[in-house]
Amino acid sequence: MNEHKTKRSILASIVPNFKSLARKGPSGWMVIFGLSIVLALVMMTALGPFVAPNDPNRTNSALITLPPSPQFPMGTNHLGQDMLSRILVGGSLMLQVSALSVLICFAVGVPLGLFSSYVGGIPDRLVSLVVDAVYAFPGLVIAIAVAAMLGPGAINMALSISVVYIPSYFRIIRSQVLTIKELSYVEAAKAIGAKWYTILSRYIFPNVIPSIVVVMTVNFADAILTAAGLTFLGLGVTYDIPDWGWDLTNGKQYIASGSWWIIMFPGLMIILLALGFTLVGEGLSEMLNPKLQK
Amino acid sequence: MNTSKRVFATSEIVKVEQLKKYFPVHRSFIEQMVTRKKSYVKAVDEITFSVRKGEIFTLAGESGCGKSTTGKLILRLISPTSGKIYLNGMDITRSKGEKLRTLRRQMQMIFQDPYASLSPRMKIGKAIKHPLEISGTTKGKESGKAVLEVLEKVGLTPAHKFVNLFPHQLSGGQRQRVALARSIILKPSFIIADEPVSMIDASLRTTIIDLLLSFRKELGLSYLFITHDLAVAKYISDRIAIMYLGKVIEIGSKERLFVNPLHPYTQALLSSIPVPNPERKKKAVELQGDVPSAINIPEGCRFHPRCPFARFECIRKEPELVEVERDHSVSCLLYWNR
Amino acid sequence: MALLEVNSLSIDYRTSRGVIHAVEDISFSMGKNDMLGLAGESGSGKSTLGLSLLRLVPYPGVIADGQIMIGGRNILSLSEEEMRRLRGKDVAYIFQDPMTSLNPVKRIGAHFVELITNHEPSTKKVHAIERAKKILDSLGIQSERLNDYPHQFSGGMRQRIMIGLAIALNPILVVADEPTTALDVIVQAKILDLLESLQKSYGLAVILISHDLSIILERCSSIVVMYAGHMVEYASSKELYRSPLHPYTQGLLKSIPNIELEDQKLSSIPGSPPDMLTLPKGCRFRTRCSRAGEKCQSKAPALIEVGNKHFVRCHEYVEEGVRNE
């Protein structure tokens, strides 16, 4: 029961309410703005199926590549599908895959970072070596390689994206733990006889959380772009559900012929979503940094 | 002084014997291939002393002399390279794991930096309660009561208000009192205080010092007090040991050491301490050079390069502690033939 | 004419959370060969005051009121370019941490040469090096070490080099901000001795900022005691030691151990320094003062002169040294 209360109070200290955020100056505004974008898009995706004017999957060969008009505010694509409806519904795959990959990253990267840096010595050096090697690769290249190996499917997409970002979690946590390890309160914990897992979970982990939150949000943004990239290259899901990345892929052939709307609207949505998360991440990191420095 | 090594006076609570701690100097890969010679930082280089029950024993010296390392060795936060450590007559030199954790109930430590010795994300009450949880001696409501009691003892009242605060909401002096509270909650018999007031404002230091003194009587505590501030040492100690470059070079009671400092280093040290009196004009004893690195300790007496009284034999022989007067020993060849 | 005259100086920090009156209404003066001690604990504003003498108070600090007269000129009205020429040449600053105040990739000689040629462009490099050697000599450092890098020196020697850089251009005022805090007591004594001897040979005015009242009492001829941004007492050190007037000064003197005394009874001042964002109305010290009265709650006391050049800011005292109530 005590663990519960601690978790809630930690959460309470991370999730500030809007009023105090606004007072914190430009970084607070960034967070508010970013959160608003993200929440708006999430809501849009959630409500999309109920609000969409047309069935996003219904094809109509008579209505192909129509430019934006009052009837089809975002035009139609090469299959005659209503772009607006596809946009309203198409974020769901992207959001789910990114969220899943962030979760996997957290579940793998955080413990790995904590243990490796706490133990130190040769094991830590070896793990860091491997992680740095992965980190050195351009993200998309790894994602492509892993996705190609694993094959199509939403979960596989999430996994391939996770591999790219686990090193980020590892490195940030490791640098924090290495600093915290030397502080007196960890020594004090040892002096009162705490076991190593208690020290890690109750003394070190809570103090690392702020930086993890920042990494999570920025990685969410990156994950969205990578997911879009994978789908764009045809390595994502193959079943035909409306998806921004999928529309992006299909839209590229039609730019030359002047049907700009097929690729533009999905592209804008992806950028917007990534922007939202990035703003939150940047704002949070700015807000948390001066406090840490104090 | 009888340096009987096997018999323990029941009046000794902590004893260290020939204690050594050498830290290997990190060498690069190439260096490791080329030379076989390893070098060490000789942080603690064979020291022997004991703390008597109910006394405040001060380990004093400048930075790098090994006093903090000694404290951590006694508390077994780090393992000695060689030598022995005894707590209440028990040999704890190689204690590990569960046995060590049980021992920790008898001895505790207070650290120097009040801003770093408490986890920023742990409430005060939780931090103080944690030792109780680990030892399992009290549970639930009783732990809560014990926390409130100990907060009152250190003067943080109303206790129930402080229990829910975070460290950053307290001042440095208050944080140090929390650290003190955390260390006494298990009712230990021995506390190591590592520079507990160095980072606190002068006008607030006496609060902490007075708490330490009152706990000595009230809770039957003995202390190892580590400091570089000899003025504070004089105020609080019963006996003082001066350390230089890993060795204890003088041990004496407060009465004798300050009145009659024997070792040239002690004399230089005492004469350099600023006296808060504009009407006193004194000349400090000039010492040449700086403290050498603990990796390259001078031959013979490690103080000889800077000693104004150094003789030829000081380069050849390393002196040992000899008793010069009652309860006052010094490690210096000047006193060997007396 | 006093070398340094500070009149009703006030410095604010305009932060996003409110205005912090870090220093308020400070007035004192110094002449040649004076060593003035700025004593105070954390939050007293002494470092801010020291920095203001070179107009180096960091953002968001602003000098809100008052004058700083150095050599007869009010430096607050100088342009930035004129200030730049003043710094290092007429007024020098010695920072607290000798480990980080020197450029690690520059040789010591280069530090001196850059300083000298910067302020005296007509000086040839050869001459600058000659002067640097002489200065190292007076610091007790071998002149061959001009070619060494900072990391090759110990902390005490680095601080001596900092002092050398400070006096290289024969300034009239040197501000030393906690110059010995990071050093051991034996080295500290040597550094302070050096500062004293250089002061005598160059006729400097030195301001020594420290939280260690012992070294201020030992070395300085006059003392300004600061608390929460206010100057609470200002007198010669002998006068301050013999008859401290302000309750804070008295409390402070009773809390520092004197190694030459036996069986001292030390005491501390209850409470802690106030939060500078939410200062109490009236006297800033009243929450910790055992003699605080009604007047102290509502009105902040003014600085008055009690006796010979002994200033105190406390309602207990009235002009002409007559005690109030």
- Count of CB atoms situated within 10 Å of the CB of A26: 10
Residue C321 has pLDDT above 70, yes or no: no
Kindly tell me the sign of the dihedral angle through the C-alpha atoms of C311, C312, C317, C318: positive
- d(CA A173, CA A114) in angstroms, rounded, equals 7
Q: Does domain B12-106+188-335 have CATH number 3.40.50.300?
A: yes
Contact (Cβ atoms closer than 8 angstroms) between residue C224 and residue C28: yes
Residues C141, C142, C147, C149, CA torsion sign: negative
**What gap in Å lies between CA B218 and CA B54, rounded to an integer?**
11
Number of domains, chain A: 1
pLDDT of residue A294: 36
| Nearest chain A residue to B184, by CA | A192
Where does the pLDDT of residue B174 fall: very low under 50, low under 70, confident under 90, or very high at 90 and above? very high
Sign of the C-alpha dihedral computed for residues B81, B86, B91 and B94 taken in this order? negative
Contacts by A229-234 with C-beta closer than 8 Å and gap 24+? A229/A140, A229/A143, A230/A143, A230/A144, A230/A147, A230/A157, A230/A160, A230/A161, A231/A157, A233/A144
Cβ contact, residue pair B122, A10, below 8 Å: no
The Cα of B131 is separated from the nearest Cα of chain A by a number of Å equal to: 6
Any idea what DSSP says for residue A61?
G
d(CA A36, CA A53): 24
Q: With CB atoms and an 8 Å threshold, state whether A190 touches B119.
A: no
- Taking contacts as CB-CB distances below 8 angstroms, the residues of chain B near C141 are none
Q: What is the pLDDT of residues A166-179, one digit of tens each?
A: 999 999 999 999 99
Q: Are B244 and C221 in contact (CB under 8 A)?
A: no
Query: Could you tell me if C144 lies within 8 Å of chain B, comparing CB atoms?
Result: no
Contacts of B120 in chain A (CB under 8 A): 207
- The token pair at B88 is 């209440």
Chain A residue numbers touching B131 (CB-CB < 8 A): 192-193
pLDDT in tens, B222-262: 999 999 999 999 999 999 999 999 999 999 999 899 999 99
CB contact (8 A) between residue B111 and residue A189: no
Task: Compute how many other C-beta atoms are within 10 angstroms of the C-beta atom of residue B248.
Answer: 27
- The Cβ of residue C77 has, within 10 Å, a number of other Cβ atoms equal to 9
Which of B66, B175, B57, B180 has its CA nearest to residue B120? B175
Whole-angstrom CA distances from C45 to B173, C6, C210, C231, C248 are: 19, 15, 11, 10, 15
Instruction: Report the CATH number that the domain containing residue A184 is assigned in CATH.
Output: 1.10.3720.10
Place of tokens 């000694």: B70
Residue (of A238, A269, A276, A273) closest to A86 by Cα position:
A269
Query: C223 pLDDT band (50/70/90 cuts)?
Result: very high
Ramachandran angles phi, psi of C65, nearest 5° = -160, 160
Residue B198: count of CB within 10 angstroms of its CB: 14
Task: Say if the Cβ atoms of C189 and B284 lie within 8 Å.
Answer: yes
The helix-helix angle for C185-202 and C155-167 (nearest 10°) equals: 10
B128: Cβ–Cβ under 8 A, 6 or more apart, which residues?
Answer: B147, B150, B151, B178, B181, B182, B185
Residue C32: the pLDDT is: 87
In angstroms, rounded to a whole number, what is the distance separating the alpha carbons of residues C114 and C116?
6
Residue B20 confidence (pLDDT): 95
Chain B nearest-CA distance from A15, in A, is 15
Average pLDDT score over chain B: 88
Best residue in B154, B209, B236, B273 to probe C by mutation, most C CBs within 10 Å? B273
| Residue C255 touches partner B, C-beta closer than 8 Å | yes
List of chain B residues whose C-beta atoms are within 8 Å of the C-beta of residue A206: 119, 121-122
User: What pLDDT is attached to residue A12?
Assistant: 53
Helix (H, G, I), strand (E, B) or coil at C174: strand
Q: Among C34, C252, C260, which would you mutate to test the B interface (most chain B Cβ atoms within 10 Å of its Cβ)?
A: C260
To the nearest 5 percent, what fractions of chain B are helix, strand and coil? 35, 20, 45
**For chain A, how are helix, strand and coil distributed in percent, rounded to 5?**
80, 0, 20
Residue A9 forms part of a structural domain = no
Distance (Å, rounded) from C-alpha A88 to C-alpha A46? Answer: 9
C264 contact B CB<8A: yes
Question: Which fold, C4-97+173-281?
Answer: Rossmann fold (3.40.50)
pLDDT higher than 80, residue B10? no
Angle between helices C125-139 and C185-202 in degrees, nearest 10 = 120
Paired tokens of A156: 């596989």
Q: Are C259 and B258 in contact (CB under 8 A)?
A: yes
Return the exposure string of C142-156: e unless at least 16 CB atoms fall within 10 Å of the residue's CB, then b: eeebbebebeebbbb
Reported in sequence order, the residue ranges of A35-96 that DSSP labels E, i.e. its strands, are none
What was the pLDDT predicted at A2? 42
Q: Are B58 and B239 in contact (CB under 8 A)?
A: yes
* Closest C-alpha to C184, from B67, B331, B314: B67
**pLDDT for the residue B7:** 47
3-class DSSP state of B23: strand
H or E segment and range at residue C35: strand C35-39
Torsion angle (degrees, nearest 10) of CA A69, A72, A78, A81: -170
Closest C-alpha among B109, B123, B232 to residue B179: B109
The tokens for B250 are 């003088």
Mean pLDDT of C181-210: 90
As a whole number of angstroms, the distance between CA C187 and CA C179 comes to 11
Domain parsing of chain B, residue ranges = 12-106+188-335
Residue A18 has pLDDT above 60, yes or no: no
DSSP tag of B15: E
Alpha-carbon gap, residue A148 to A156, rounded angstroms: 10
pLDDT band at B5 (very low <50, low <70, confident <90, very high): very low
Look-up of token digits 């320094």: C273
Helix axes of A26-51 and A91-119: crossing angle, nearest 10 degrees:
140
3-state DSSP percent of chain C in helix, strand and coil, to 5: 35, 25, 40
pLDDT of residue A252: 82
| Angstrom distance (rounded) from CA A227 to CA A90 | 13
Q: Inspect the interface and report whether the beta carbons of B277 and C241 lie closer than 8 Å.
A: yes
Contact B111 A184 (CB under 8 A): yes
> ipTM score of the complex?
0.85
Chain segment A47-65, per-residue pLDDT in tens: 888 888 888 888 888 888 8
Cα(B190)–Cα(B104) distance, rounded to whole angstroms?
Answer: 10
What the block records as the tokens of B50 is 């004991």
Whole-number pLDDT of residue A293: 41
**Terminal C-alpha separation, chain C:** 38
Is A119:A269 a contact under the CB 8 Å cutoff? no
Residue at A88 is within a domain: no
Look-up: residue for tokens 């492509």? A144
Residue contact B131–A193, C-beta within 8 A: yes
The set of residues, in sequence order, having a beta carbon less than 8 Å from that of A263 and lying 6+ positions away, is: A247, A248, A251, A252, A254, A255
Instruction: Quote the crossing angle between the two packed helices C108-119 and C155-167, to the nearest 10°.
Output: 20
Asked if B117 lies within 8 A of A188 by C-beta distance, the reply is: yes
- Write down the domain spans for chain C: 4-97+173-281
Q: Which of B109, B121, B130 shows the shortest C-beta gap to A207?
A: B121
Q: Is the pLDDT of residue C85 over 90?
A: no
Answer yes or no: is pLDDT of B64 > 80. yes
pLDDT at residue number B262: 93
Q: Is the pLDDT of residue B187 over 60?
A: yes
Output the pLDDT for position B194.
94
> What percent of chain B clears pLDDT 70, i.e. is strictly above it?
96
Bridge-based pairing state of the strands B328-330 and B247-253? antiparallel
Question: Among partner residues A10, A183, A193, which is closest to B104 by beta-carbon distance?
Answer: A193
Q: Which domain holds residue A172?
A: 93-294
Distance of CA A256 to the CA centre of its chain: 32
A residues 176..215 contacting B (CB < 8 A): 183-185, 187-195, 198, 202-203, 206-207, 209
Q: How far apart are CA B94 and CA B86, in angstroms?
A: 10
Number of C-alpha atoms within 13 angstroms, CB side, residue C86?
22
With bands split at pLDDT 50, 70 and 90, how would you rate the model's confidence at C325?
A: very low
Indicate if the pLDDT at residue A223 is higher than 70. Answer: yes
Distance in Å from the first CA to the final CA of chain A: 32
Chains interfacing with A (3 or more CB pairs < 8 Å): B
CA angle centred on B323, ends B318 and B325, rounded to 5° = 140
Kindly state whether residue A20 falls inside one of the protein's structural domains: no
